[in-house]
Amino acid sequence: MLTEVRWIHQAALGPVWEVAPHPYATPKEAPGSFREHDVAEFPGGMRPPSWTEVAGAMRDWVRHAGALRDVASPFEEIAALHGQFERIHPFLDGNGRTGRLLVNLLLVRLGYAPAIVYKRDRARYLRALRSADAGEPGALGELLARAVLDNLYRFIVPAVAGPKRLVPLAALADRGVSEDALRMAASRGRLRAHKGRDGQWRSSRASVDEYKAARQLHPRRSPTE
């Protein structure tokens, strides 16, 4: 997997490097190669290891990542690995994006959907990452788990389910209509939907398209929707 780590960094940073290479990089520190510089202490007080320790630290990291296949619920463990990778800071630049891509590689290999951390969640993600740096990966693990679930509902479930199959409303929300609006429409009988014993509303893409078409015909019918 160490070769994959290097390849992911090269793929993620290579195009940027061609335009704006790191000003202090040596030829040996191009994308895909570990740093040969020590890195200054981060604002939060975390200091990455000396560059001479990076190769050994990354071999340990790969070994820990390989053990994830034996873990029943891996989100906190993946969060801890993500924090460890960022503390090692193996490359001169691009460690953040490489680390997040590695998180998704681990998730997909374990059978989970990728985790997308949106810009609006950046501050919460950074706080959780700092907690992971301090040895408390729980908040970051929860953030990753929620991101996987959100991605599952928004992209994967709608793609797999047919237009008439009942799915949670979260999987049917889009820019045109929010999950809250769909829930309100379902409770008012304006959207064909079914409320399960778990209290969750489910509908279909066909029913939501029907509802949206009716709403366009009667735009003043319910301004809250």
How large is the average pLDDT for residues 177-197?
Answer: 89
pTM for the model stands at: 0.74
What amino acid is encoded at 174 in this protein? Answer: D
Would residue 64 show up in a list of annotated catalytic residues for this protein?
A: no
Q: Residue 223 pLDDT > 50, yes or no?
A: no
> What's the pLDDT score for residue 220?
54
**Annotated active-site residue in 9, 22, 82, 89:** 89
pLDDT of residue 225: 45
pLDDT tens-place string over residues 149-167 = 888 777 777 776 677 788 8
Separation CA 54–CA 88 (nearest Å): 7
**C-alpha distance across the termini of the chain, in Å:** 49
| Ramachandran assignment for 199, one of left (phi > 0), alpha (psi -120 to 50 degrees), beta (any other) | left
33-72 tens-digit pLDDT? 999 989 888 877 778 999 999 999 999 999 999 888 767 7
Tokens describing residue 54: 């990076």
How much of the chain exceeds pLDDT 70, in percent? 93
C-beta atoms surrounding 26 within 10 Å: 12
pLDDT-derived band at 219, boundaries 50, 70, 90: low
- pLDDT-derived band at 14 (thresholds 50, 70, 90) equals very high
Q: What is the pLDDT of residue 136?
A: 92
- Return the higher-pLDDT residue of 15 and 162: 15
| Residue % of the chain over a pLDDT of 90 | 48
134 pLDDT band, cuts 50/70/90, is confident
Listed in sequence order, the residues at least 6 apart from 190 whose beta carbon sits closer than 8 Å to its beta carbon are 211, 214, 222, 225
Q: Is 79 helix (H, G, I), strand (E, B) or coil?
A: helix
